[in-house]
């Protein structure tokens, strides 16, 4: 890999501490960083290089998946780090930063390849990009890239404005928008499941599939993030990005060539075909909810409105379910159901594909129920694929019962790279397959925008649901109306 500089904005923040330093360290130990790399951490407060290196080390010892550390390896890694105090709004600080970057480039004989990673509050994204451009940091003889965390905008208009500003400093191919769901192994695996298995490929369409269910349920509540979450709600926090990305990954069609740009093309086509929800139909297609108190794993938990920092009369959604239609020849008749919520019964991200049950009529007369075949893709915390088939149970007089054939793809443990490692590595080598392209982000906001407006105008009810449940009943009715039910709810 070519030598480079990695500039980290927000190096004293939480994400850097929990994820980014460990990811870089693990890449280093796995020899997936360039031999010559300069890593420059930026934050508001003053810190010496040594103090900063000490912080990096502490984070790694606390959060890295590796349990054992070799002192000389750690020393070698920390050597790459320097710190520079920077006020993101002060253009002189960028001049100082440029000097630090250049000095290290000279010392280490590093090419002018520069990665800028923005792990800061979104309100600073545009000012930083502008200053990177104006200070000359972005004028390089090598490549420059920008890695950026969510949220990308607060609605369609702000996302467009942000993108306009970023694109004055970076080309689209230089921007790596992180959606950490795209770093999950089982989300990445969807591509292989669909495209590397002719058997599945041939039934991946409306002729054979009855419906698709995408769930991302969480046990945690709003935690300490009320300030952000109460403005965002589940619709912005999960649906606009992670849920729609999973939808795209599931519904995309086999491209002629399997590579980053073709896959993005296919994902974009899914979003272009996604039927917009008309305002007058929103009530029948979308369900929103907010958790009230309840019990999870025998522990009582408070309702959303009682959470610290939440407005006691908040109308923010902590649960969203929706029925979506993709108007193209592969999926036109297949409902896609999505649901996501906090304080639900279990932590589970999964995709269930229910196949059409054309044989059930054959068994009609002898009281034999035949369940549909299901393909179940568990994304987290379990990582596996299972297929539900029907089989005779000899101990019950040959009664036909569903059985699950389970393919564990479990890849946890100290030896397996985490999402951030995979994503940072991809960005370093310039592979954008598992990053969100602007077109995908824009189309997602376009789909979400009328729903945001309907929420604001209170065009649909905000159902209460008990903590520890599967969300409001209305989310079950969405499926019942089409003769289906959510699979795997206990
Ligand atoms: C984040 C959201 O993007 O994803 C959080 O902001 C949410 O609210 C989290 O808890 C869920 O991620 P994961 O990987 O735990 O499913």
| Per-residue model confidence (pLDDT) at position 113 | 97
Highest mean predicted confidence (pLDDT) among 185-189, 400-404, 479-483: 479-483
Lowest-confidence range among 209-223, 359-373, 439-453? 359-373
C-beta 237 within 6 A of ligand 1: yes
Quick one: average pLDDT of 150-164?
96
Going by CA atoms, what residue is nearest to atom 8 of ligand 1?
237
Whether residue 349 has its Cβ less than 6 Å from ligand 1: yes
**What pLDDT score was predicted for residue 276?**
96
Provide the pLDDT confidence category of residue 31 given band limits of 50, 70 and 90: very high
Q: Among 486, 216, 248, 249, which residue's Cα sits nearest to residue 350?
A: 216
How far is CA 250 from each of CA 73, 207, 300, rounded to the nearest angstrom? 41, 16, 36
175 has a pLDDT exceeding 90? yes
Distance of CA 34 to the CA centre of its chain: 27
Q: Is 388 in the pocket of ligand 1 (CB under 6 A)?
A: no
Does pLDDT of 244 surpass 90?
yes
- β-bridge partners, 354: 211, 374
Tokens of 347: 């932590």
Structure tokens at 363: 């068994």
- pLDDT band of residue 142 (cuts 50, 70, 90) is very high
ipTM of the complex: 0.99
Residue of 188, 237, 243 to test ligand 1 pocket, by largest number of atoms within 8 Å of CB: 237
Lowest mean per-residue pLDDT among 3-12, 229-238, 304-313, 387-396: 387-396
Q: Which atom of ligand 1 is nearest to the CA of 220?
A: 10
For the CA of 232, the closest atom of ligand 1 is: 6
pLDDT of residue 258: 84
Q: Are strands 399-408 and 384-393 parallel, antiparallel or unpaired?
A: antiparallel
Give CA separation, 146 vs 113, 138, 150, 291, 424, in Å.
11, 10, 13, 37, 11
Three-state DSSP at 244 gives: helix
- What number is the average pLDDT over the span 200-209? 94
Average pLDDT value over all residues in the chain? 94
Average pLDDT over residues 348-375: 85
Q: Which atom of ligand 1 is nearest to the CA of 241?
A: 3
At 458, the pLDDT band (50, 70, 90 cuts) reads: very high
**Residue 13 annotated as binding site:** yes
Residue 413 confidence class, pLDDT cut points 50, 70, 90: low
**164 pLDDT tier (thresholds 50, 70, 90):** very high
Q: Of the given ranges (61-70, 106-115, 159-168, 177-186), which has the lowest mean pLDDT?
A: 61-70
Assign 254 a pLDDT band (cuts: 50, 70, 90): confident
- 175-177 and 144-148 beta bridge pairing: parallel
Question: How many A from CA of 179 to the centre of ligand 1?
Answer: 10
- CB atoms closer than 10 angstroms to residue 150: 17
Beta bridge partners of 388: 374, 404
How confident is the model at residue 362, as a pLDDT? 72
Helix, strand or coil for residue 381? coil
Checking if the pLDDT of 410 tops 90, the result is no
Question: Which residue out of 149, 182, 188, 242 has the highest number of ligand 1 atoms within 8 Å of its CB and is therefore the one to mutate?
Answer: 242
pLDDT at 42: 98
pLDDT tens digits for range 35-65: 999 999 999 999 999 999 999 999 999 999 8
With a cut of 60, say whether residue 317 has pLDDT above it: yes
219 CB less than 6 Å from ligand 1?
A: no
- Per the annotation, does 342 bind a ligand? yes
Active-site option among 49, 69, 154, 242: 242
The b/e string for 400-418 (b: 16+ C-beta within 10 A; e otherwise) is eeeeeeeeebeeeeeeebb
Pocket of ligand 1, candidates 177, 181, 244, 343: which has the most ligand atoms within 8 Å of its Cβ, to mutate? Answer: 181
Quick one: pLDDT at residue 412? 59
Judged against a pLDDT cut of 90, whether residue 144 lies above it is answered with: yes
Instruction: Record the tokens describing residue 66, joined without a space.
Output: 């590796």
pLDDT at residue 193 greater than cutoff 80: yes
Please confirm, yes or no, whether 242 is among the known catalytic residues: yes
Confidence band of 365 (pLDDT split at 50, 70, 90): low
**pLDDT given at position 198:** 93
Q: Which atom of ligand 1 is nearest to the CA of 349?
A: 16
- Ligand 1 neighbour 218 (Cβ under 6 A): yes
- The reply to whether ligand 1 has any atom less than 6 angstroms from the CB of 371 is no
SS3 state of residue 216: strand
286: pLDDT strictly greater than 60: yes
**Is the minimum distance from the CB of 213 to ligand 1 under 6 angstroms?**
no
């Amino acid at each position: 890999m070519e030598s480079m500089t990695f500039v980290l904005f927000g190096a004293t923040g939480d994400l850097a501490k929990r994820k980014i330093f460990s990811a870089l360290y693990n890449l280093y130990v796995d020899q997936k960083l360039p031999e010559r790399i300069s890593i420059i951490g930026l934050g508001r407060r003053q810190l010496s290089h040594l103090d900063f290196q000490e912080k990096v080390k502490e984070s790694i010892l606390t959060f890295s998946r590796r349990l054992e550390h070799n002192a000389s390896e750690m020393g070698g890694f920390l050597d790459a780090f320097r710190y520079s105090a920077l006020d993101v709004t002060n253009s002189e600080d960028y001049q100082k930063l440029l000097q630090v970057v250049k000095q290290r480039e000279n010392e280490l004989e590093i090419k002018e390849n520069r990665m800028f990673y923005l792990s800061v509050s979104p309100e600073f994204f545009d000012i930083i990009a502008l200053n990177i451009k104006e200070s000359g940091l972005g004028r390089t003889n090598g490549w420059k890239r920008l890695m950026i965390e969510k949220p990308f905008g607060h609605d369609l208009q702000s996302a467009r404005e942000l993108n306009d500003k970023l694109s004055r400093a970076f080309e689209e191919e230089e921007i790596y928008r992180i959606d950490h769901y795209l770093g999950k192994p089982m989300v990445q695996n969807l591509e292989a499941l669909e495209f590397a298995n002719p058997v599945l490929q041939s039934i991946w369409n409306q002729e054979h599939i009855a419906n698709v269910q995408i769930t991302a349920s969480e046990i945690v509540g709003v935690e300490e993030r009320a300030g952000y979450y109460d403005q965002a709600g589940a619709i912005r926090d999960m649906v606009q990005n992670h849920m729609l990305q999973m939808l795209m990954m599931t519904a995309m069609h086999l491209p002629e060539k399997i590579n980053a740009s073709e896959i993005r093309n296919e994902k974009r086509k899914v979003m272009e075909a996604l039927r917009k929800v008309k305002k007058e139909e929103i009530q029948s297609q979308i369900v929103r909810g907010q958790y009230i108190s309840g019990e999870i794993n025998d522990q009582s938990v408070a309702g959303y409105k009682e959470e610290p920092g939440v407005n006691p009369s908040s109308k923010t959604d902590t649960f969203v379910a929706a029925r979506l239609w993709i108007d193209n020849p592969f999926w036109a008749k297949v409902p896609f159901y999505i649901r996501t919520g906090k304080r639900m019964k279990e932590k589970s991200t999964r995709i269930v594909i229910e196949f059409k049950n054309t044989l059930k009529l054959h068994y009609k007369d002898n009281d034999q129920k035949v369940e549909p075949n299901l393909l179940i893709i568990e994304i987290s915390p379990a990582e596996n694929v299972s297929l539900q088939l029907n089989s005779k149970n000899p101990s019950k007089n040959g009664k036909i019962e569903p059985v699950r054939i389970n393919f564990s793809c479990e890849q946890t443990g100290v030896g397996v790279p985490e999402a951030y490692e995979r994503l940072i590595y991809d960005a370093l080598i310039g592979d954008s397959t598992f990053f969100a392209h602007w077109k995908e982000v824009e189309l997602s906001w376009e789909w979400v925008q009328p729903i945001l407006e309907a929420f604001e105008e209170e065009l649909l009810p905000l159902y209460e649901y008990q903590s520890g449940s599967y969300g409001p009943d209305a989310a079950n009715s969405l499926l019942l109306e089409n003769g289906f039910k959510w699979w795997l709810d206990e």
